[in-house]
Amino acid sequence: MRKDINRLKVVLAEKNITNKWLAQQLGKDQAMISKWCTNTSQPSLEMLIQIARLLDVRADDLLRKL
In a domain, 57, yes or no: yes
In a domain, 2, yes or no: no
State residue 63 phi and psi, 5-degree precision. -105, 145
In a domain, 53, yes or no: yes
In a domain, 40, yes or no: yes
CATH number at residue 16: 1.10.260.40
Q: For 47-64, what is each residue's pLDDT tens digit?
A: 999 999 999 999 999 998
The full 3-state SS of 9-35, as one line of letters, equals: HHHHHHCCCCHHHHHHHHCCCHHHHHH
In a domain, 3, yes or no: no
Q: Which domain holds residue 23?
A: 8-62
Number of domains in the chain: 1
Q: For 7-60, what is each residue's pLDDT tens digit?
A: 999 999 999 999 999 999 999 999 999 999 999 999 999 999 999 999 999 999
Residue 57 CB partners (closer than 8 Å, separation 6+): 11
Q: If 0-12 CB within 10 Å is exposed, 13-18 middle and 19+ buried, where does residue 64 land?
A: exposed
In a domain, 42, yes or no: yes
